[in-house]
Amino acid sequence: MAQKPAPGTSLTTSTLLHHEHGGGPLGEDKVMVVWAVRESKAPKVINADLGSSAKKWAVSVALPDIKSHLVETLNLEWTRSHSALLLPEEVTFRWHGGILLEPNTANMTLGQFYAFYSTPSRAPIYLTTVPTQWKMMAKQDKTPTVFLELYIDSTAFTLRQNFGRGSAGDSDDDMGSCLRITSSVAGRKRTRTLSSTSEGANRDYGANKRCNSSAITVHKVSPVTLKKIVCIVDHTTGVPDFEESLDEISGNIRDSHFGKGAMKYAYDFKSMDGQALVAKRFYRISDSDEMGPPITVLENRTQIYLELRRLMVGAYFLKQFFMAAKRQGVDVYTAIEFADAWLGQEIQVIPTKASGAAKVDDTHEGITWLVETKRATTVEHFTFTLNHQTRRQDLCAKTIHAFAHFTYGNSQKSIVLADIQGTPAHRGGRDLMILFDPMTHTPAGDSGIGDFGVEGIWSFIQDHHCGDICRSLGLHESVLLSDNIQPNEDTPKDVPSSTSSTAST
């Protein structure tokens, strides 16, 4: 059954104002985004049945987030004749007339996008010509405007539908369902509820509150100083280690979180040099924590260390994967990176309100945060915690599934990357897929929240099917998928161990 939007609105006044301001702060410059719909199964005509619209957006908003919002709007009509929602990754932006975007511009902010295409050499091609039905609006409204199309990949949508019908018993889907899992952490079983949304995407707008003037919020911030801690991975062995940096990062962190996942809160953090960052911490590490006391500073620190460790180990194997593909002349999607993250431990005497800590004294250190560069909130999922099946056939998805197989083999079958998800981003002039918050399954089951141990490894062995990239790299022969992993098998030497003695020091 399609997940059809509920009638009416449950947005707070502050959220409505957020939309009124085009997703940015009050007074920010805006660009009008006008859109219509075209489908790949009928690429020569605009699909008038799916409608069209126009809206002013703030220049700081990332194009992937605008696209996600427009796809949500489009789904109101789409679900009248289809049994499932469109996903943002099944829709791309094109210029009016079906003209493709130039490379490395799809993930820009709207301001960057307009500036790029309004240069003298590009404006006559992309901006000057106005579609007939919008000419009157263009004359009356002098706001800078882009005329775009939402191009639906009908084949990708159909493939996902066929996949869904072939795996009806799979509760871990990409339509917002939850999967309850048990993981072994620090010698104890923990239960976690995982959603297919992430901290960044699952924004807490207080949907059950009534819309009234008292809901308008002025966000409060607290000054914070963080001792920076980095994770360094040995480039020959892949073994990670933590090291204190001489840097201390000061700035302001919001008192209230903007995102809430199953286990972590995400807070806006702006450094003194103007960087827009996100700071994450755990607010619980099992379902049973919800009604109990808050987790301790030490419990949070242990899990946050393991979160960074997973990111850095993933980045190490991704580098090895790209090198192997280059040596063998295999074409892969190279615009993939893991989030560049670090740890920040509060060192001021009074803890921030965001930390949830009551005080800092001689026996309690400040809260430790996982800090990343702020990105778009749109999230694309490639695998889940206990489901590694291929749902997409684009080069990016095929590359990531082959990378997961490569990691399993190059870790001597001691690490399975799971719950692989990413955010489209524009960095250094390139459009990238930034992977974040991965999980891992290891023989000992102690690599962090969501490590299902041998059961998790076995889920990968059962689910993974080698595609073109796996076969081109020879993984289907060199890294056989078998069930010879034993629960008490020692982790091989000279690969990243699943335990971390430094996580609690």
33: helix, strand or coil: strand
Torsion angles phi and psi, residue 118, rounded to 5: -95, 10
> What is the dihedral sign for C-alpha 347, 241, 307, 321?
positive
Do the beta carbons of residue 35 and residue 57 sit within 8 Å? no
CA dihedral 375, 379, 382, 387 (to 10 degrees): 120
* Cβ density class 362-390: b for 16+ within 10 Å, e for less: eeebbbbbbbbebbbbbbbbbbbbbbbbb
**Cβ-Cβ contacts under 8 Å for 88 (sequence gap 6 or more):** 64, 67, 68, 71, 378, 380
CATH architecture assignment, domain 167-504: 2-Layer Sandwich (3.30)
Structure tokens at 97: 């007339």
Q: Which residues pair with 292 in a beta bridge?
A: none
- Section 138-146 average pLDDT: 88
Structure tokens at 326: 């280059």
CATH class of segment(s) 13-156: alpha beta
> What is the dihedral sign for C-alpha 109, 110, 112, 117?
positive
CA dihedral 456, 457, 461, 465 (to 10 degrees): 80
246: helix, strand or coil: strand
Q: How far apart are CA 245 and CA 229, in angstroms?
A: 6
pLDDT at residue 1 is higher than 50: no
Location of structure tokens 């369902």: 177
pLDDT at residue 97 is higher than 90: yes
Please indicate whether residue 358 or residue 76 has the higher confidence score (pLDDT).
Answer: 76
Do the beta carbons of residue 316 and residue 288 sit within 8 Å? no
Give pLDDT tens digits for 439-455.
999 999 999 999 999 99
Do the beta carbons of residue 146 and residue 114 sit within 8 Å? yes
Q: How far is CA 116 from CA 100, 151, 346, in A?
A: 14, 21, 40
Do the beta carbons of residue 385 and residue 194 sit within 8 Å? yes
Give pLDDT tens digits for 337-346.
999 999 999 9
**Cβ-Cβ contacts under 8 Å for 247 (sequence gap 6 or more):** 228
Q: Which residues pair with 439 in a beta bridge?
A: 418
Residue 180's H or E segment, with its range, is strand 178-185
Give pLDDT tens digits for 195-244.
333 333 333 323 333 344 444 568 899 999 999 999 999 988 889 999 99
- Section 477-486 average pLDDT: 72
pLDDT on residue 138: 81
Please name the amino acid found at residue 441: H
pLDDT at residue 492 is higher than 70: no
Distance, first Cα to last Cα, the chain: 50
- Section 24-41 average pLDDT: 92
Torsion angles phi and psi, residue 124, rounded to 5: -60, -25
| Cα of 246 vs its chain's centroid, Å | 30
pLDDT on residue 504: 32
Q: How many residues does the chain have?
A: 505
Q: How far apart are CA 109 and CA 95, in angstroms?
A: 16
Instruction: Convert 91-116 into a string of H (helix), E (strand) and C (coil).
Output: EEEEECCCECCCCCCCCCEHHHHHHH
- Section 350-366 average pLDDT: 78
Instruction: Convert 16-28 into a string of H (helix), E (strand) and C (coil).
Output: HHHHHCCCCCCCC
pLDDT on residue 19: 52
Domain ranges of the chain: 13-156, 167-504
Residue 441's H or E segment, with its range, is strand 439-441
pLDDT on residue 360: 62
pLDDT on residue 362: 57
- Section 43-63 average pLDDT: 95
DSSP for 270-301 reads EETT--EEEEEEES-SSGGGGGSPPPPHHHHH
